[in-house]
Chain A
Amino acid sequence: GENVEQHPSTLSVQEGDSAVIKCTYSDSASNYFPWYKQELGKRPQLIIDIRSNVGEKKDQRIAVTLNKTAKHFSLHITETQPEDSAVYFCAASIGSNYKLTFGKGTLLTVNP
């Protein structure tokens, strides 16, 4: 089955710096790659997603890149703010099944 590796497990940055979280996946048939943000004690919420026919997608301060050849995708957050502090999860799924496989999460801390 699909395996998603996520790095780093923790990331601490200063406010205003950029943060990058990287994920790799194992199944070349995966074609949907969402990113979820989970604040402490809250539910995971989608922040951005990308499909396999696109190499990059941007939404304000957040961007995701996908390298299908390397089976690698990354989340980039620019101009970080304290409210960006949360656990971020990458995930991957194959279009033909109903299974979304998550990475183990990255705890991002943005220091004021």
Chain B
Amino acid sequence: DTAVSQTPKYLVTQMGNDKSIKCEQNLGHDTMYWYKQDSKKFLKIMFSYNNKELIINETVPNRFSPKSPDKAHLNLHINSLELGDSAVYFCASTLRLNTEAFFGQGTRLTVV
């Protein structure tokens, strides 16, 4: 009965490859997010979707493309992976504005 789940948990890939991370929430929340946590633990928002609509795109390279097929899913596709993309990517969801964010378990992406 995991609230927010991401797959895969670990992803090791070579530079230049394309990869996707999937996220699903079963909380009935309207808003979903992608955050990037770098090696210094800084949590930075990348994207925010509300009811399948893109609300926030925080100057993320266009190699990153989120897709929300429905309110319960928000996937992240990354093209032409670079070394600097190595990080932990967290999906999260909230019921509405200014309420608790529930995070997925994270996907540790390592680009070699």
Residues of A participating in the B interface, judged by any CB pair closer than 8 Å? 31-32, 34, 36, 38, 42-46, 49, 51, 87, 89, 93, 95-102, 104-105, 107
Chain B residues within 8 Å of chain A by Cβ, number: 22
Q: B12 within 8 Å of A by Cβ?
A: no
A7, chain B: closest CB distance, angstroms: 15
B45 and A101 contacting across the interface, CB-CB below 8 Å = yes
Number of A-B contacts (CB under 8 A): 57
B interface residues, Cβ below 8 angstroms from A:
31, 33, 40-45, 48, 50, 55-56, 58, 90, 97-98, 100-101, 103-106
Q: How far is the CA of A87 from the CA of B100 in the complex (A)?
A: 18
Shortest Cβ distance from residue A92 to the other chain B in the assembled complex, whole angstroms: 10
Query: Could you say which residues of chain A place their CB within 8 Å of the CB of B41?
Result: 38, 87, 104-105, 107
Q: Is the CB of B42 within 8 A of A95?
A: no
B97: chain A residues within 8 A (beta carbon): 32, 93, 95-98
Asked if B98 and A102 sit within 8 Å, CB to CB, the answer is: no
Contacts of A95 in B (CB 8 A): 97-98
B101 and A43 contact, CB distance less than 8 A: no
Task: Report whether B100 and A98 are in contact in the complex, using a CB–CB cutoff of 8 Å.
Answer: no
| A98-B40 contact, Cβ under 8 Å, with A34-B101, A43-B105, A44-B103 | no
> Sorted from nearest, which 8 A-B pairs have the closest CB atoms?
A32-B98, A43-B103, A98-B48, A102-B43, A46-B100, A98-B55, A105-B41, A44-B103
A99 touches B56 (CB 8 A): yes
